A = this chain, B = another copy of it.
Amino acid sequence: MGTTQLETVPEPKYWHLKTVLSDALDSEFAVGEILPNERDLAARFGVARATLRQALEQLELEGRLQRRRGVGTTVAPPRVGVAVDPVRHTWPGAAGDDWQPVDATETASVPAAVARLLETSPGQPVHVVRRNRVTHGQPVAAELLYVPCATFPEGAGPATGAATASSSGQGRARAVLRALQGLSLEGQDRTVELGSARADDAKQLDRLPGAPVLVVTTRYFAGGRTAAVAVSTYRADTCRLTFGDSESPVAALAG
């Protein structure tokens, strides 16, 4: 673990330091171990505190380190593979679905980007179901599922009583999900992009608002139209999303 070459490499200094630190994590530290403080680390590698911080930020982006208030910087466990799999996911709420319904509301005001995907006009009522996904006891994702009331044919929507404020939030959520099962799913597609956690999602995910997240947007098609849109926010620090027909999760490759 040389420290003398930092002056001579053409890469940015923090980048080279990151590589050196990454090797050190492999060889000298165990998962969960607390790193020495920034002053000591900067002295050990002969770099400025600012350079060290940049390198630590990179390693956090790559899921190698976790920084927690009051604890310090610890070596992160490998990321957990989370299946984002059209084969196992038919309608939200189908058997085997590992999302927990939390709440549901009805609104006439959805984000512009969602309205565009749903092809709804302003003012059309939409069920919004909030769900959480927990893997190995850790919250990994928070979701808002948007289902236009018009998705359901007359009489096939959630029972009126179940969708009002008089029932529990979870009861309302289950009623919407149950009504979806009655429809025939014709297809789905999804996108993955980088985002930052909204305040409400951040709370569910035990992160600060603005933390980097992976946003998975799924469109569900039924009756020749977009019947529902799910916006799922996954923790980017602890998750990697897995796709495809293989059962075994692919080991982390970041960095």
Contacts and interface: CB of A to CB of B under 8 A. Distances in A.
Interface of A: 11-12, 14-15, 18, 26, 54, 57-58, 61-63, 79, 81, 86, 111-114, 116-117, 187-196, 198-199, 208-210, 212, 214-215, 217, 219, 221, 231, 236-237, 239-246, 249-255
A13 B217 CA distance: 27
Given A215-B253, A250-B190, A12 B208 contact: yes
Nearest to A57: B210
A117 B188 CA distance: 29
Nearest to A194: B236
A189 B250 contact: yes
Contacts of A198: 255
B241 A191 contact: yes
Contacts of A12: 199, 208-210
A245 B241 CA distance: 18
19 contacts: A12-B208, A63-B194, A81-B191, A86-B243, A86-B244, A113-B252, A113-B253, A187-B246, A188-B245, A189-B243, A189-B244, A189-B250, A191-B242, A191-B253, A192-B240, A193-B252, A212-B212, A214-B214, A231-B253
A251 B113 contact: yes
A241 B196 CA distance: 16
B58 A190 contact: no
A191 B113 CA distance: 26
Contacts of A58: 196, 210
Given A14-B210, A208-B12, A250 B192 contact: no
Contact of A189 (B208, B242, B255): B242
